[in-house]
Amino acid sequence: MTTGLAIGLAKGVMGKLGEIAAEQALNEASLLLNFKNDFQWLEKQLSLICASLQSADQQSEHNEAVKKWLAEVRNIVFDAEDIIDECAVEHLYTCTSQSCVCNCSQWLFQYKMAKRIKELKERITSTTKEAEQLKLFHDVSNISQPSTSTSESERGAELRRGSILEKDAPAVAIDHKVDEILALLNPALGVVAVVGMGGLGKTFLLQHVFNRTRHRYDCSAWISVSQTCSLTKLQYDLASHIHLDIDNRVSDVRAAELIHEGLEGKRSLIVLDDVWRTSVEGNLISRLGLPTGLNNQCKIVVTTRSRDVAETMNAHIYEMQHLSVCDSWDLFCMFAFPNREGNRPPEQLEKLAHQIVEECGRLPLAIKTVAASMAKSSHKSDWEAKLRQLKKIEKIDGSIMQILKLSYDYLSPSLKSCFAYFSFFPEDTHISFSTFSYEKAIYQEYVIYLWIAEGFIPQDKDREQLDIGLDYLHQLENLCLLEVNRVLSCYTVHDLFLDLVVNICKEHECEFDLPFKETRCRRLVLARKSLDNNVISERPLLCQQFLRTLSFAQNPGITSIPRQLLDHVRALRVIDFSHTGISTLPKCVGKLKLLKVLNLSHTEIREVPDCVKRLKSLQFLDVSYCTSLQRVPDWIGELKSLSYLNVKCCGDLTSHMPKGISQLLSLRRLKSDYFVLSTEENRFLNIKDVGNLINLFEITFRLEDVRTLESVQDGFLDRLVKMRILAVMNAIPETEGDREESSLPAFPEKMKVMKDLQQLEIRGFSVSSWICGMENLTQLALKECSDYPSLQKMPNLQELYLRDDSKCRELPEEFGERGGFPKLVYLQIDVFPLLEELPALEEEAMQRLEGLVINNCPRMKKVPEGLERLRRLKRIVVLQASGELVERLKEGEEDYKKIKANNPNIVIEMN
């Protein structure tokens, strides 16, 4: 476990050392500071040490001296990276200034750095000698220098591995369990507790129960009770689900009274998921304020790993059983042999596969992850090795963690580091891979920028680090280490895997509580700890010298950051103060020369303080959902390294963007609400300025005059050839002639130059059929558009959103044609007041559809003919629909029975 993180860190540092000789900018910096020879020596010595890590890991669990040696190697690698980065950043700060003061400062820096490098070299020499004494080196003379980038062949292999699995977790043997739970939701039973060990699929089962039945109740709520959740947080979440406004200043007792009053007499369904680790003392149900007792209208279902917790709640206990032998085999084969006919193994592997399934103890999570780890191998020796590993695991209640650890151990060093970093996020975090995601999810790009800041993603001349990070996410997904919700377009991490990576990180100088003693802690993650100003003011950080990541996320009680907290954190790369109550930052933030990620989203800040403009290394800045923020600062262009800027949902501040953004030549993603894009020369960003940002991947803007539209058509789009995510709104006032003709301006055909475009949102334009030729487009949102030409021909479209069409009475019949929408996974039709029906589906139309949402279509009377043939369909959501449509989809009615006959696991949800 140790070696993966150590090798990953070492290779990242060696990559940077290699760049010093190869990249002109870094080469100049190293020559300027006279450290090039030292860096070359460091690279050579680290490569020798790296060669011994595999041997060291095999001995570390039984040899305390080796374990200490590995810890020192990690510290050396961290310190080496700090020195390299500080030298590179110092060059950024000094190369533009020739003043005497600057030169004196540079000489002082050079003196201090030379001293640190000398000390580091002495430590490395000592560590190398110790490795020889411990007999950790194996014929290192034949070890080649490690490559700093992935070769084309290796990259191709990684991408092929990432495309093995396209399935989500199937609903194996779930139907009868759902029926058993539903039978328990009767007036005689107040609380039902689903009890069982981790990995049995309790949450998966309850999700099916919840989605299948929630439409029968006046109100419903799904509450995830994580380890760090306070009673106040749980009450607030519950109140928001049942549309109850509770002032966060009221006491827990008063909040419970209000919740009880709000639910009293209502037919309600409340699910409390994963209650076993709650820190809330006593009977959680009564302390939340949930009505209980015989014949009560409030139905409460909990999942827990503890029978004691269930008994404390006076619950009827439903024991979650292991999978049957037959179901275990079917589940394993779905993930181990996804590309073979019938998901059956080759003859030479069948016996081994049965033995491996048996060793997984009929636990769904263990079966799925072990199967996924073997999916790319058909070599009998690999399967025999996996079986030997599983047989070594002692079959006790905790054995599933050991099985999951095998899946983790299987990862490459880089993937181990990246996956372990999910410990940064609290339980139940949703990581969105869609631009059209909901507010509470974090974007996958944030995860990738954290990896980049920590040095986990290698530099590559031919590929963007963001793209490498996306590949890593796909590999983790296809190894079943990340759970995928296609309907919500997000990833989650199973709580058992989260437990695993938290334990891994605790072994690697990571802390999840304020330390009480001096420590070499590199990462301090204090998310959801119910901290306030008093706690962080009274408890000084005892790890400032080494700290690289600091998170106080989701602690609303923190309203200010004391200066002493950040005064001496020289090596800090990441700050996450999101979802706190802070309104400003201390000025000393400007001294954090290595800071790459600053997350201030969902805070009370009124402006981005001037000290931030001194952060020359800053790559990621997120101030989204800061409703008090007044403006994007004019000096934003001084952040020359900025690659990601998120200013979504910050009131009116993004109606215009400052001209300084045009200086951000490293900018890849500009996430915002629609801002005005014009042709006028003033202090605001205009169409010419944006055209200069030729490396831009994402932008959202609106057009408010005809001249701007003409400029867009005349070539503005031609220069944005790297665009991947584009949202354009037509806000040009209609003329009398437009209203008479009911016409919309055509969306510019020159957009076709954007060959890499993946996500597109168009509002208020007429769309022509040329759009169907955009082969890489996977997500399309059309708002206030009246034309939907041949969309069914789009070869890779996965998500389609049709919204706000007040004129459309029927969608094109071609939408349902045979073979149409070959890869569509999610379809949402939202606010079509005149739409009466959807096109009938022919054979093999929309064959991959998993989610269908119909919202605010009051004239629609039935679902489309042929919908029952869609065997992958998991969820139908119908909101604000006609009474006739609702009636036809009710349990036992015509359309319900027809859809359920071929797809018994489908969830039909209605308001």
> Looking at residue 428, what is its pLDDT?
80
> Looking at residue 466, what is its pLDDT?
92
Measured torsion, CA atoms of residues 84, 88, 89, 90, in degrees rounded to the nearest 10: 100
Q: What are the residues whose beta carbons fall under 8 Å from the beta carbon of 894, sequence distance 6 or more?
A: 888
For residue 761, give Cα distances in angstroms to 734, 767, 778, 782.
Answer: 21, 11, 11, 6
* pLDDT interval class at 156 (50, 70, 90): very low
Residue 159 has pLDDT above 60, yes or no: no
Q: Give the count of beta carbons closer than 10 Å to the beta carbon of residue 697.
A: 23
Mean pLDDT of 424-450: 81
Q: Tens digits of per-residue pLDDT, 464-486? A: 999 999 999 999 988 888 988 77
Distance CA(595)–CA(581), nearest Å, equals 22
Mean pLDDT of 222-238: 80
Structure tokens at 701: 């803007």
Residue 700 sits at the vertex; the CA angle it makes with 696 and 702, to the nearest 5 degrees, is 130
Q: Is 641 exposed, middle or buried (0-12, 13-18, 19+ CB in 10 A)?
A: middle
> Lowest-pLDDT range, 290-294, 329-333, 334-338, 632-636?
290-294
Please identify which residue in the block is written with the tokens 């929309």: 846
> Lowest-pLDDT range, 395-404, 468-477, 854-863, 870-879?
395-404
Q: Tens digits of per-residue pLDDT, 89-146? A: 776 666 555 555 556 677 777 878 888 888 988 988 888 888 888 877 654 443 333 3
> Looking at residue 596, what is its pLDDT?
95
Distance CA(677)–CA(701), nearest Å, equals 6
Distance CA(523)–CA(520), nearest Å, equals 9
Q: Tens digits of per-residue pLDDT, 780-809? A: 999 998 788 889 999 999 999 999 998 888
User: Strand, helix or coil at 736?
Assistant: helix
Mean pLDDT of 850-862: 91
> Looking at residue 306, what is its pLDDT?
84
> Looking at residue 150, what is its pLDDT?
39
Distance CA(744)–CA(729), nearest Å, equals 12
- HSE, side-chain direction, 13 A CA sphere, residue 69: 31
Q: Is residue 479 within 8 Å of residue 419, measured between CB atoms?
A: no
* pLDDT interval class at 162 (50, 70, 90): very low
Report the sign of the C-alpha dihedral through residues 144, 149, 151, 155, in that order: positive
CA 43 to the chain's CA centroid: 33
Distance CA(885)–CA(908), nearest Å, equals 12
Mean pLDDT of 837-852: 91
Q: Whole-number mean pLDDT of the chain?
A: 82
> Measuring CA to CA, which residue among 843, 844, 762 is closest to residue 800?
762
Distance CA(99)–CA(313), nearest Å, equals 72
> Looking at residue 408, what is its pLDDT?
87
> Measuring CA to CA, which residue among 335, 484, 508, 545 is closest to residue 413?
508
Top mean pLDDT of 227-241, 822-836, 876-890 is at 822-836
Residue 152 has pLDDT above 50, yes or no: no
Burial per residue of 217-243, b for 16 or more beta-carbon CB atoms within 10 angstroms, e otherwise: bebbbbbbbbbbbbbbbbbbbbbeebe
**Most distant CA pair in the chain: distance in Å?**
89
User: Strand, helix or coil at 771?
Assistant: helix
Residue 58 sits at the vertex; the CA angle it makes with 55 and 61, to the nearest 5 degrees, is 135
Structure tokens at 296: 């009560």
> Looking at residue 603, what is its pLDDT?
94
For 62, phi then psi, to 5°, come to -115, 0
Task: Provide DSSP, 176-208.
Answer: HHHHHHHHH-STT-SEEEEE--TTS-HHHHHHH
Bigger pLDDT: 904 vs 335: 335
Distance CA(652)–CA(198), nearest Å, equals 47
Structure tokens at 122: 């002495």
Bigger pLDDT: 785 vs 168: 785
Instruction: Return the axis-axis angle of helices 465-478 and 444-453, rounded to nearest 10°.
Output: 110
Distance CA(419)–CA(431), nearest Å, equals 13
Q: Is residue 565 within 8 Å of residue 541, measured between CB atoms?
A: yes
Q: Which contacts of 439-446 are long-range, i.e. CB under 8 A and separated by 24 or more positions?
A: 439/625, 439/649, 441/488, 441/490, 443/646, 443/671, 444/470, 444/473, 444/491, 445/644, 445/669, 446/599, 446/620, 446/622
Identity at 480, one-letter amino acid code: C
> Looking at residue 439, what is its pLDDT?
57
Q: Is 137 exposed, middle or buried (0-12, 13-18, 19+ CB in 10 A)?
A: middle
Identity at 837, one-letter amino acid code: E
Structure tokens at 725: 């995510």
> Looking at residue 166, what is its pLDDT?
42
Rg of the Cα atoms in the chain:
29
Q: Tens digits of per-residue pLDDT, 534-547? A: 888 876 676 677 78
Residue 459 sits at the vertex; the CA angle it makes with 456 and 462, to the nearest 5 degrees, is 135
Q: Is residue 284 within 8 Å of residue 225, measured between CB atoms?
A: yes
Mean pLDDT of 666-695: 88
Q: Is residue 13 within 8 Å of residue 46, measured between CB atoms?
A: yes
* pLDDT interval class at 653 (50, 70, 90): low
Q: Tens digits of per-residue pLDDT, 600-643? A: 999 999 999 999 999 989 999 999 999 899 889 999 999 999 99
Please identify which residue in the block is written with the tokens 């374990």: 67
Report the sign of the C-alpha dihedral through residues 343, 347, 353, 354, in that order: positive
